[in-house]
Amino acid sequence: RFNINNLAQQGNTPGGAGNGAQLQFRRLLVTLGLDPRLMWPIIDWMDQDINPVNPAGAEDDFYSGLDHPYRTANQPMTSISELRLVMGFNAKVYQRLQPFISALPASTLINVNTAPPEVMMTLAPGMDPKTAVALVKYRQENPFTTAEDFINAVQTVAGITLPTGSDTSLGVTTQFFEVRIETSIGHGRAELNSLLVRESDEIRVLRRTQGF
């Protein structure tokens, strides 16, 4: 999944096309049939200033004018459900995007051994669905051991050369894991969500949330 907090933790480029993480996220929005300008309100939600980073963004001036006013978080998201508070993210948009994103407490790489085709398509201009699916099938037989392995496979399978520096955003392992447990008792339902981090040979719980 794409870590939504990479948008904040890798800085921004006011009014421009965006840095590497931002370009990837814009491609994800386009891939999913969503407006790429939705990226800017997310960045404004997390950054610590009061000036929109782009004309399509939204800062406190917008949210304070709502019927039920509130302010931006001015920090990385602790849950992707925060997106429902961000301008432009109605239920339909959120549900479309939710399966492909996460909100992790540190900047992370895209794991090319587990990323779905929709996320693979964000890694380079011209990466179409057919190519992304072919790469997913390729890794089932030949798991990538380094970012360079993946870059070479993209060239071999699709004839696409990834942009210079792409290897800095790619990984082949995962540090964070989300665990969801659902149970039903009678007519009731309970849900427990845990965020785990792998550090050396240990697994540590970072966060737990409950829902009913």
Could you say which of 102, 124, 152 is where a domain stops?
A: 102
Handedness of CA 98, 104, 107, 112 (dihedral sign): negative
Among 60, 76, 102, residue at a domain's last position: 102
**Full residue range of the structural domain in which residue 187 is found:** 176-211
What is the CATH number for 87? 1.10.40.60
Reported as a pLDDT band with limits 50, 70 and 90, residue 14 is: very low
**Claim to verify: residue 98 and residue 165 sit in the same structural domain:** no
- On whether both 60 and 142 belong to a single domain, the answer is no
- Same domain for 85 and 8: yes
CA distances from 129 to 76, 145, 177, 189 (A): 30, 23, 26, 37
- Say how far apart CA 113 and CA 137 lie, in whole Å: 11
Q: What is the pLDDT of residues 95-146, one digit of tens each?
A: 999 999 999 988 889 999 999 999 999 988 888 899 999 999 999 999 999 9
SS3 171: strand
Pairwise CA distance, residues 147 & 186, whole Å: 48
The answer on 191 and 155 residing in a single domain is no
**Collapsing DSSP states into helix, strand and coil, what is residue 205?**
strand
Same domain for 148 and 182? no
pLDDT at 44: 96
Mean pLDDT, rounded, of the chain: 88
pLDDT of residue 88: 96
* Counted domains in the chain: 3
User: Which residue, 102, 137, 153, sits at the end of a domain?
Assistant: 102
Taking the CA atoms of residue 11, residue 152, residue 101 and residue 134 in that order, the dihedral angle to the nearest 10 degrees is: 150
Residues 78-87 pLDDT 10s: 989 999 999 9
Residue 34 has pLDDT above 80, yes or no: yes
- Give pLDDT, residue 187: 79
Q: Above 90 in pLDDT, residue 201?
A: no
